[in-house]
Structure 1
Amino acid sequence: MSKLKELSYQELDNRCKLEALPFKNTSQLETYEGIIGQERASKAMEFGLKMKMRGYNIYMSGPTGTGKTSFARQILSETAANQKIPDDWCYIYNFSQPNQPLAINLPAGTGKQFQHDMEEFTKIIKQEIVNAFDNDQYEKEKSEIMDEYEDKKDELLDKLSKDAEEHGFKVNTGSSGIYFLPIIEGRTISEEEFSTLDDETKDEINQKTNILQQETLDIIRKLKNNDKETEKKVSEWENKIALLALGVHIDDLKEKYIKFEVIQKYLEEVQKDILDNLDDFKEEEVSEEQQQLLIPWMQKPETAVTKYKVNVLVDNSALKGAPVILDSNPTYSNLIGKIEYENEFGSVSTDYTKIKPGLFHVANGGYLILQAKDVLSNPQAYEAINRVLKTKKIMIENMKDQTGIVAVTAIKPQPIPVDLKVILVGSTTIYELLYEYEEDFRKLFKVKVDFDEEMDRNDENILKLAQFISGFCKKEKTLHFDKSGVAKVVEYASGLVEDKNKLSTRFNEIVEILCEACMWAEDDGAKLVKAKHVQQAISEKAYRCDRLDKKLLEMLNEGTIMVDTEGSEIGQINGLTVMDMGDYSFGKPSRITASTYIGESGIVNVEREVDLSGTSHSKGVLILSGYIGQKYAQEFPLSLTASLCFEQMYGGVDGDSASSAELYAILSSLAEVPIKQSIAVTGSVNQKGEIQPVGGVRYKIEGFFELCKLRGLTGEQGVIIPCQNVKNLVLKDEVIDAVKKKLFHIYPVETIDQGIEILTGKKAGEKGKNEEYKSDTINYLVSEKLRRFAATVSSAGGNKKIKR
């Protein structure tokens, strides 16, 4: 038997060389600015930010903890700092359509100033108009107009009275109007006396009455015209007075905001509205104390100047560039804004001053960062984002449309145009689901920034990691790390991705170890964080989570779960499994047994028969039939039944990493050659007998090692792994030390033949010139057994004897 390769401890060494680190401790390093190990993501982000066309919003995809959100916030802040500050946005009263407030944009800071100016204007104008009408000159001029009105009125009524006397009537005027009383024999008669007159006299009186009524109608028409003319004169005079008080202030505002046509038009409408509603200004203003004393229905809901207020929706006066908004609660109303309502004494009302901004308003002209999970967990949030990005407008809907509240006054604010870039941060799974099932997603989020969970382990990235640690220490104002501490963190980062040539980019997990290592160093009274403190942090973190691991190890050691680590058995092998508890993963050996006998059922997967086998495991078992048939049954039919079982496995099994171990057990059973129980096996196999790489090799090796160590290392124990998994051997120091002392062995194999030789101590065997396997080899014994099975089945069926 040719000597098979065994890994040396040098090949397993994962330690970071201290002499390769160009510093004594991290206090000597500058903080690294930027994202580490994400060149592809950085370039994609740079492209997404440069592309200004519609639809090029960004989805940041990748595992949790790789720094997606921090990177987005950092690079967007840098980019936004050099961009133009967006305009303020305000809502003002719409005099032509009061229920549709107007949206206006003004340069940053101008909105707040305009709001203040209008507040001052309304305060001043209210008082000045009151003062203008509260003086002798106004009263004198008004009295003259009213006197003229009264003179004309008296003149008309006198004429009517004279005409009535000429026709024998007396005129009476009252609140009910003008009426006539007949005069007979020098005196007016009553209605009762009129009824006693003869018909001729009555007819004569009625005829005169009709003539007077026509003249009265003409007089009344002239009186009404006189009223209108007088009212017009009073109004013109009052407007003239009001303009004297109002005009200078309006002109000052127009001059100040001369560049803004929309404000010019608005101020003209304000002036017209004030003149049209002077009575509201002339009334004595009710104080807040007096207002509270009034009964509810007598209280004034708003003052005359409420409509002249400016609602500054977005104030960008404090910005130094474009806005960068990060939010974790993207509800529908938080995104698009809302209209607040007041409920006073059962009456619900609102107005344009109660319009509140949403995230889109605040981020308009800049960037909005949202977590994809948060968006999808809030009803209508994703639809709101879709609508805004498609229409490029923010439309604030009335609250009653969303909540069912019926408002007394419903308003529909003018939509605000939007120009911003939305950055969604989420997992790859969410991205794939949205891309596949949400039609608009691929049109609106055309830039994918894909974060990797690992980076190359080279000198450049190791130095960047050290600079990251330095930045952490400075930010948290904690102890710095010496060379050994940094080296141990590098080794831990390799362990997270189970690859000696890679480092993890899941910096949140690295930061956890940094925090805990600092605590242990401080507890130790050290001035720097050293390797022992980092290792203590790693060990303590594992200890808090490994209860089930230790419980199963105890059950294995005492034999409750039966696994042998010494001796040899036919058709029995130790497979290796990984259990993932979420925050902790560990490996454990599991006994796999195979029973073979004559039949035509092929390989029977006991787990599949009782619905405990996953699809991947079932596939792996089916592949074994292909391998056995292809290798041994080319000249005779395969008449085999093989029963495979994971002993004492009741929770189900999945994955094909045990398929090679299952095949070894079948071959052992067929060849009737025992397998060493001191060697455990992991690895997938294909139909050609080639060993394929699997996951979790590190945990599987360490799990079997723990059991062997507990029972006592004999020097015969070890693990067979796929040769492709050598790079994944980021093992604990004690495992490497055991390999160094020849107390534990790790065998990388490429084929089933290599593995079976290690497990049985016998050659696998190759075919000679006669196409037969050499005698007393595993393959020969298996082939002979299968030939006998086939001959027996053939004989029982009355067929010809199987030819050798």
Structure 2
Amino acid sequence: MADLSSLPVGRLRTGCEPDDFAFDTTAELLDLPGGLGQARAEEALRFGLAMRQPGYHVFVLGEPGTGRHAGVFRLVRALAAQGEIPPDLCYLHNFDEPLRPRLLRLPAGRGAALRADMQTFIRDLGPAIESALESETHGARVDALQEGHKAREEDALRELGQACASEGISLLRTPEGFVFAPKRGDDTMSPEDFETLPPPERELIEGKVGAWSDRLTALLEQFPGWRTELHEAVKRAERDALGPAVSHLMRGLRARYADLAPVLAFFDAITRELLESGGEWGAPAEDEEDTDEDPGKRFHRYQVKVLVDNSATRGAPVVGEDNPTFGNLIGRIEHIAQMGTLVTHFNLIRTGALHRANGGYLVVDVERLLTQPFAWEGLKRALRAREIRIEPPAEAQGWTSIATLEPEPVPCDLKVVLIGDREMFYLLTEDDPDFPELFKVAADFDDDLPRSGENVGYYVRLLATLARGAGLLPFDRTGVARLVEHGARLAEDAGRLSLRTRLLTDLMREADYHARQEEASVVMRDHVDRATAARVRRYARYSEKVLESMVDGTTLISSVGERCGQINGLVIVEIAGEQFGHPVRITATVRLGEGDVVDIEREIELGGAIHSKGVLILSAFLASRYARHTPLSLSASLVFEQSYAPVEGDSASLAEVCALLSALAQVPIRQSLAVTGSVNQFGEAQVVGGVNEKIEGFFDLCAVRGLTGTQGVVIPAASVRHLMLRPDVVEAARCGRFHVHAVETVDEAMAVLTGLPAGKPDAKGVIPKGTINQRVAAALAAMTAAQHAYSEGRDSRRHRRQSEH
């Protein structure tokens, strides 16, 4: 059996001695070049980022505050610095299909240059067109064409008039149009004179008029064709006039972009459109209104929409998207209202994070991603198809009929790094079949690292790096030693150091505040202690109320005396990330029954699954130890007194079994002790969490009531390595005013709690008299005998009643 005396003071807190450090302040230490204790995660991250096969995107998992984001960006930026600069992404007007803008990929920096050049081109284009179309040469040519056309029509009409005049018919032009009339000599015959003609002569004249009317109709039908020829001739004249001007404006552009065939094709399309319709953009005619339209709007089709400008990028891009909505990831197409209608054009295409990170790395927080409608599905669709297709999510789901653009998709070539916790990773792996296909690499960040001498040296450099990064005062050796101890407490293990750098940095900032309040040049242990105490005090309202209720007797907790079937268990409460422990009274009652152990918490649905499991395990322990060959003839009830909230966890099962054994053996338990620990079916005490806070919670109650030297706690021996108790608790233990007992079994716990030996059967199975186990066995034997006698009496009475009938 283990030594049941209280633990040595040296095992209650594993300190860090300032004299072990060879520096005076952290200002003398070099920054830690990489992550600490994350070799496995960084190896996985490097593998995933370097793997070029599809689907090898990375999910970084771990607890918040462990430096996941900082580690990811450090490694990603290091790899990105060696990567190639991706091309600029631009959209151009599609002259063949205006609703399908064309994608243009240009070497980094050329996109912005092309945009600027095209803006200059557009600025100069309007005046050049006006100058060309208003030139005297072009005006004379157009006038000549128009005069020629007019003369052609007039000549044709004159020839027709001369021809019909030879047959005595005159062609007259009236406001209503052309008419034919007979002639008498050189004069046109009046209708009255025509009526006086003999009928044969009238019929002859009418026949001639009809024939010439047909010839006039045929001539007039040729006029639209002649006007079309005129229009085409004017268009040729405009092309001839515009050709030199456009060619002059394009000459410099073509020279600058001669190495880019897609850009030259774009210039060709612009040239064709200008030569075909450039005249429409000329100066308004005298009878037309000058709209003063901005040339940038008139010629917006010739602009270049630069979606991604990599001119300032060095290496591959690294993008962290803090607001991963669908539009912010995939991009979006904006609309503007014109005349009550929503319209859009390629200049209203907006970039997304996938575009900016294309050719590089995109880092996204998975919880933020999953809370945005359509964003997760949009990301998966882009990664599966390996292309970024900008389309509104409503349209993608077929929910709207608004006409919009369909930009040419952008090839998607990037690495996505999702950052989340372990639960989210396992949930997505199990429930989303696309997830393991796309995110094949898991980089699991550790929460702590072993507290070896070498690691402590690295840890101190990490603290120095964090201090410099936050702009804090240097920490001296005493302050650093206290931070190392705090790191072990955060890890809940004296032999490990927490890597939750967020919490460490917060404490360092608050310690820096106290140092600056004193106008100190360095941060010392006292400042760290004050920052720790201040933080506890800020969150202590609830814990103080719980302690106050115990002191004033509202919550019944005894810390003196002895009681059968009653024990002080220890529980832990977490509020806003802060933990505190406090005692809770657990009671047990026994009676004659059939082996049932009733967990009242479970019966009223306040007990969680793990707590119920613990009660079932202790029931199995009782049955296997005391009722191997006979029925367990008892019923027992267990309850957390004055507990009105759900109870979860099995850390009270050791206290519960001790209370139950006390009630059976009628052996009182010392109320000056509190117990925590779980138990297995063999009666072995098992490790529990939050052991420091639980011990300190009972210590605080005892300290308020007055330490007598008999108070203490009983914990599993396996939890001793987790002890990093507060200095005041350690000091009380050093002075013999408080004790911590470590036990390995239920028997050892009962011996400490009652002062009686547990009692171990000898070779013949006989348990020494006066021991706890002997009393329990005797009580159970008496219950079995009573149960047997009751059963025989019941059967005898039943048989007697049957005989009487």
TM-score (norm 2): 0.93
What are the residue-to-residue correspondences of 1:177-196 with 2, within 5 Å?
A: 178-183=178-183, 187-189=187-189
In 2, Cα distance between equivalents of 1:115 and 1:55: 35
- Answer yes or no: is 1:86 the counterpart of 2:80: no
Q: Which residue is 2:19 aligned to?
A: 19
Per-residue CA deviations over 1:379-438 (Å, capped at 9, x if unaligned) read 111111011111122222259738999898632221111211111111222222222212
Deviation at 1:768, TM superposition (A): 2.1
Q: Which residue is 2:566 aligned to?
A: 572
Q: Which residue is 1:130 aligned to?
A: 130
Which one is further off, 31-40 or 692-701?
31-40
Residue 448 of structure 2: which of 454, 467, 470 is its match?
454
Which one is further off, 4-13 or 400-409?
400-409
Aligned residues: CA RMSD: 2.7
What are the residue-to-residue correspondences of 1:622-771 with 2, within 5 Å?
A: 622-771=616-765
Deviation at 1:99, TM superposition (A): 1.7
Instruction: Please say if residues 338 and 399 of structure 1, whose CA atoms lie closer than 8 Å, have aligned partners that are also in contact.
Output: no
Q: Which residue is 1:71 aligned to?
A: 71
- Corresponding residue SS for 1:472: helix
Percent identical across equivalent pairs? 35
- Answer yes or no: is 1:603 the counterpart of 2:619: no
Q: Which residue is 2:168 aligned to?
A: 168
In 1, Cα distance between equivalents of 2:139 and 2:290: 28
- Answer yes or no: is 1:262 the counterpart of 2:256: no
Code of the aligned partner of 1:425: I
- Corresponding residue SS for 1:608: helix
Q: Which residue is 1:212 aligned to?
A: 212
- Answer yes or no: is 1:120 the counterpart of 2:120: yes
Which one is further off, 496-505 or 430-439?
430-439
Deviation at 1:90, TM superposition (A): 1.1
Instruction: Please say if residues 654 and 676 of structure 2, whose CA atoms lie closer than 8 Å, have aligned partners that are also in contact.
Output: yes
In 2, Cα distance between equivalents of 1:194 and 1:665: 141
Q: Which residue is 1:414 aligned to?
A: 408
Q: Which residue is 1:54 aligned to?
A: 54
- Cα distance change on mapping 1:195 and 1:328 into 2, 3 Å: farther
Code of the aligned partner of 1:88: D
Which one is further off, 115-124 or 570-579?
115-124
Which one is further off, 330-339 or 48-57?
330-339
- Answer yes or no: is 1:320 the counterpart of 2:314: yes
In 2, Cα distance between equivalents of 1:57 and 1:491: 38
- Cα distance change on mapping 1:264 and 1:179 into 2, 3 Å: farther
Code of the aligned partner of 1:647: E
Code of the aligned partner of 2:36: I
What are the residue-to-residue correspondences of 1:469-548 with 2, within 5 Å?
A: 469-548=463-542
Q: Which residue is 1:152 aligned to?
A: 152
- Corresponding residue SS for 1:797: helix
Q: Which residue is 1:798 aligned to?
A: 792
Instruction: Please say if residues 398 and 412 of structure 1, whose CA atoms lie closer than 8 Å, have aligned partners that are also in contact.
Output: no
Instruction: Please say if residues 349 and 408 of structure 1, whose CA atoms lie closer than 8 Å, have aligned partners that are also in contact.
Output: no
Code of the aligned partner of 2:736: K
Q: Which residue is 2:799 aligned to?
A: none
Deviation at 1:791, TM superposition (A): 1.0
- Answer yes or no: is 1:561 the counterpart of 2:594: no
Per-residue CA deviations over 1:362-388 (Å, capped at 9, x if unaligned) read 111111111111111111111110111
What are the residue-to-residue correspondences of 1:228-377 with 2, within 5 Å?
A: 228-284=228-284, 291=291, 303-377=297-371
- Cα distance change on mapping 1:212 and 1:618 into 2, 3 Å: same
Code of the aligned partner of 1:68: R
Code of the aligned partner of 1:754: E
Code of the aligned partner of 1:29: L
Instruction: Please say if residues 129 and 279 of structure 2, whose CA atoms lie closer than 8 Å, have aligned partners that are also in contact.
Output: no
In 2, Cα distance between equivalents of 1:245 and 1:339: 35
In 1, Cα distance between equivalents of 2:295 and 2:132: 26
Per-residue CA deviations over 1:586-644 (Å, capped at 9, x if unaligned) read 11111111111211252122222222222222221122221111111123221101121
In 1, Cα distance between equivalents of 2:546 and 2:29: 45
In 1, Cα distance between equivalents of 2:191 and 2:670: 139
- Corresponding residue SS for 1:798: helix
Which one is further off, 792-801 or 367-376?
792-801
Q: Which residue is 1:381 aligned to?
A: 375
Deviation at 1:228, TM superposition (A): 3.8
Per-residue CA deviations over 1:645-686 (Å, capped at 9, x if unaligned) read 222212232211111111111111111111111221111111
Per-residue CA deviations over 1:551-592 (Å, capped at 9, x if unaligned) read 222222232222222222111111111111133211111111
- Cα distance change on mapping 1:202 and 1:397 into 2, 3 Å: farther
Code of the aligned partner of 2:262: V
In 2, Cα distance between equivalents of 1:732 and 1:702: 8
Q: Which residue is 1:139 aligned to?
A: 139
What are the residue-to-residue correspondences of 1:424-443 with 2, within 5 Å?
A: 424-443=418-437
Code of the aligned partner of 2:43: K
TM-score (norm 1): 0.93
Instruction: Please say if residues 794 and 800 of structure 1, whose CA atoms lie closer than 8 Å, have aligned partners that are also in contact.
Output: no
In 1, Cα distance between equivalents of 2:192 and 2:295: 55
- Cα distance change on mapping 1:93 and 1:178 into 2, 3 Å: farther
- Cα distance change on mapping 1:420 and 1:172 into 2, 3 Å: farther
- Answer yes or no: is 1:466 the counterpart of 2:454: no
- Cα distance change on mapping 1:552 and 1:408 into 2, 3 Å: closer
In 2, Cα distance between equivalents of 1:399 and 1:691: 57
- Cα distance change on mapping 1:223 and 1:759 into 2, 3 Å: closer
- Corresponding residue SS for 2:264: helix
- Cα distance change on mapping 1:222 and 1:723 into 2, 3 Å: same
In 2, Cα distance between equivalents of 1:29 and 1:725: 35
In 2, Cα distance between equivalents of 1:409 and 1:447: 41
- Cα distance change on mapping 1:42 and 1:152 into 2, 3 Å: same
- Corresponding residue SS for 2:792: coil
What stretches of structure 2 of length at least 5 have no aligned partner? 796-805
Deviation at 1:462, TM superposition (A): 2.3
In 1, Cα distance between equivalents of 2:749 and 2:488: 28
- Cα distance change on mapping 1:517 and 1:237 into 2, 3 Å: same
Code of the aligned partner of 1:515: R
Residue 576 of structure 2: which of 582, 585, 594 is its match?
582
- Cα distance change on mapping 1:346 and 1:175 into 2, 3 Å: farther
Instruction: Please say if residues 115 and 310 of structure 1, whose CA atoms lie closer than 8 Å, have aligned partners that are also in contact.
Output: yes
- Cα distance change on mapping 1:363 and 1:346 into 2, 3 Å: same
- Cα distance change on mapping 1:405 and 1:439 into 2, 3 Å: closer
In 1, Cα distance between equivalents of 2:440 and 2:317: 22
- Corresponding residue SS for 1:625: helix
In 1, Cα distance between equivalents of 2:297 and 2:322: 39
- Cα distance change on mapping 1:409 and 1:531 into 2, 3 Å: same
Instruction: Please say if residues 133 and 279 of structure 2, whose CA atoms lie closer than 8 Å, have aligned partners that are also in contact.
Output: no
- Cα distance change on mapping 1:301 and 1:318 into 2, 3 Å: closer
In 2, Cα distance between equivalents of 1:638 and 1:250: 102
In 1, Cα distance between equivalents of 2:604 and 2:193: 121
- Corresponding residue SS for 1:55: coil
Instruction: Please say if residues 334 and 358 of structure 1, whose CA atoms lie closer than 8 Å, have aligned partners that are also in contact.
Output: yes
In 2, Cα distance between equivalents of 1:403 and 1:193: 83
Q: Which residue is 2:801 aligned to?
A: none
Deviation at 1:303, TM superposition (A): 4.4
